[in-house]
Amino acid sequence: MARKFTPKVLTANDLMEGDVIYLAADGSWVRDHAQAEFIEDETIAEMRMLVAQGQPEIAVGPYLADAKMGENGPEPTHFREAFRTRGPSNYFHGKQAETASQ
């Protein structure tokens, strides 16, 4: 028996910068998980995956990640995805540095 589909967001890495990116409902790529399209339908998820796979000049390694709807938009449900939302962990830069200065 097939598993029931659970809500997802589509994520990948930006080819040029390496940042984590998410596919938004309008087809653009965003860097904020909360701005990602919250996908509740398996057919739509498969279609979005085809879109992402057709953009190798932008997105590397696209995949569907489990998500839940939160107060401000989609939120990760797995620690790996929560970790990815915080940016690179090898040294203080990118999203981490921006957050610290706010």
* Residue-wise pLDDT tens digits, 4-61: 999 999 999 999 888 899 999 999 999 999 999 999 999 999 999 999 999 999 999 9
Please state whether the predicted TM-score (pTM) of the whole model is above 0.75.
yes
Number of domains in the chain: 1
Is 78 a domain residue? yes
Which of 15, 34, 14, 44 is CA-nearest to residue 24? 34
- Answer whether residue 2 is part of any domain: no
Would you tell me how many other CB atoms lie within 10 Å of the CB of residue 81? 18
pLDDT of residue 24: 97
Q: How confident is the model at residue 96 (pLDDT cuts 50, 70, 90)?
A: low
pLDDT of 100: 60
Residue type for position 2: A
Q: Which domain holds residue 56?
A: 8-100
Residues 6+ apart with CB under 8 A from 5: 40, 41, 42, 45
Please give the pLDDT value at position 83. 74
Asked whether residue 62 is assigned to any structural domain, the reply reads yes
Instruction: Give the dihedral sign, CA 44/76/36/65.
Output: negative
